[in-house]
């Protein structure tokens, strides 16, 4: 009986050892299979393009006259008449408005009479002084009175001249701020007009990044929503040195070269500025960019043997119209991976299927 039990135990042990050997063989085969290189990722590539043309700077602005004059009276008084209306074109020297001149003419006449008397007195005293009848003091007093009367007359004549408003140049009346028979104070604007000879400008606001790409004199094109199909050329004439306190944008002025006659103040304009100091850039399809964050991003490029992918950090200048402008990082790289780039890691096996 004991011998029978020993034989059974020996059989069980032999069976267990055989099973362990089988498991070991299976593990070795799995390890050997896992060591085989993973299947390559099928990708497409695109050639890197080079350009010396920078992306234009786009902005929306408002059309304004280069120079606006806010015309007013030198002294206060009653408005006798305003001769022009808003939108009316005027010529240089044209009378635009006048105060009631009754009081002003009376003051001028009073000053003229005072001067005439002082002039007669001075003449009489000079003759008496020449005959040694008048003293030097009397002559000096008469001379001082003449000077005072002359100054009063000049002041009254000056006020009389600026009791009327004349057009300082050819232009257009933008706003009429007073009507006939209104009482106005000295220096209060009565008429706002443009100077036609100064031309038109479009003022736009740019972020600091766009501002650094343009310079004074850069060419620009301007399109107006109110004038579809009519494009106007211009140039950057002024660049703001400080940002706007409200939105932080820098004001840039675009001078219109040849303005159509139909332009009006306040028209909305779409401006495209072409930077003159463009830097060479590399252009790649936008789908080649992976993990882009602001101006930093990555692309994958095929290795020299075209069997693996290389992860390349790049600096992104702009993204527009399906292309990404790369300002740095692609030196020596002639092609980048587009389709399949999102599935790759650095050094991954690839198969190009273009």
51 falls in which pLDDT band (50, 70, 90)? confident
Q: Which residues fall within 8 angstroms of residue 75, CB to CB, at 6 or more apart? A: 99, 104, 159, 162, 163, 186
Is the pLDDT reported for residue 2 higher than 60?
A: no
Is the pLDDT reported for residue 94 higher than 50?
A: yes
Domains delineated in the chain: 42-54+279-352 (2.40.420.20), 59-65+199-273 (2.40.30.170), 68-193 (2.40.50.100)
Q: Which of 40-44, 190-194, 335-339 has the highest mean pLDDT?
A: 190-194
pTM to 2 decimal places: 0.57
- Pairing outcome for strands 57-65 and 268-273: antiparallel
Is the pLDDT reported for residue 108 higher than 90?
A: yes
**Mean pLDDT across 168-180:** 91
Residue-wise pLDDT for 134-152, tens only, equals 999 999 999 999 999 999 9
What pLDDT is attached to residue 13?
41
**Mean pLDDT across 234-240:** 91
Q: How far is Cα 204 from Cα 254, in angstroms, rounded to an integer? A: 8
290 φ/ψ angles, rounded to the nearest 5 degrees: -130, 145
Kindly report the number of other CB atoms within 10 A of residue 3's CB atom: 6
196 falls in which pLDDT band (50, 70, 90)? confident
């Amino acid at each position: 009986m004991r011998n029978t039990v020993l034989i059974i135990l020996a059989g069980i042990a032999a069976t267990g050892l055989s099973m362990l050997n089988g498991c070991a063989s299976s593990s070795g085969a799995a390890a050997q299979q896992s060591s085989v290189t993973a299947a390559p990722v099928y990708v497409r590539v695109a050639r890197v393009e080079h350009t010396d043309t920078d992306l234009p700077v786009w902005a929306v602005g408002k059309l304004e006259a280069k120079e606006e004059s806010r015309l007013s009276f030198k002294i206060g008084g009653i408005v006798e008449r305003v001769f022009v209306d808003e939108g009316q074109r005027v010529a240089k020297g044209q009378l635009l408005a006048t105060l009631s001149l009754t009081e002003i003419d009376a003051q001028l006449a009073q000053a003229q009479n005072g001067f005439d008397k002082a002039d007669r007195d001075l003449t009489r005293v000079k003759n008496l002084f020449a005959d040694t009848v008048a003293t030097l003091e009397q002559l000096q007093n008469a001379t001082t009175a003449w000077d005072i009367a002359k100054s009063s007359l000049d002041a009254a004549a000056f006020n009389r001249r600026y009791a009327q408003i004349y057009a300082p140049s050819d232009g257009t009346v933008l706003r009429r701020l007073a009507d006939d028979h209104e009482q106005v104070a000295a220096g209060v604007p009565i008429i706002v007009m443009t100077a036609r000879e100064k031309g038109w400008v479009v003022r736009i606001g740019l972020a600091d990044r766009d501002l650094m790409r343009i310079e004074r004199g850069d060419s620009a094109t301007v399109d107006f929503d109110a004038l579809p199909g009519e494009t106007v050329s211009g140039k950057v004439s002024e660049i703001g040195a400080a940002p706007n306190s409200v939105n932080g944008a820098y004001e840039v002025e675009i001078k219109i070269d040849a303005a159509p006659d139909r332009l009006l103040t306040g028209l909305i304009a779409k401006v495209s500025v072409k930077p003159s100091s463009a830097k060479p850039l590399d252009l790649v399809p936008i789908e080649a960019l992976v993990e882009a964050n602001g101006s930093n991003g990555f692309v994958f490029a095929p290795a020299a043997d075209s069997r693996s992918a290389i992860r390349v950090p790049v600096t992104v200048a702009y993204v527009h119209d399906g292309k990404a402008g790369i300002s740095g990082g692609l030196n020596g790289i002639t092609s980048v991976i587009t389709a399949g780039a999102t599935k790759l890691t650095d050094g991954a096996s690839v198969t190009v299927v273009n």
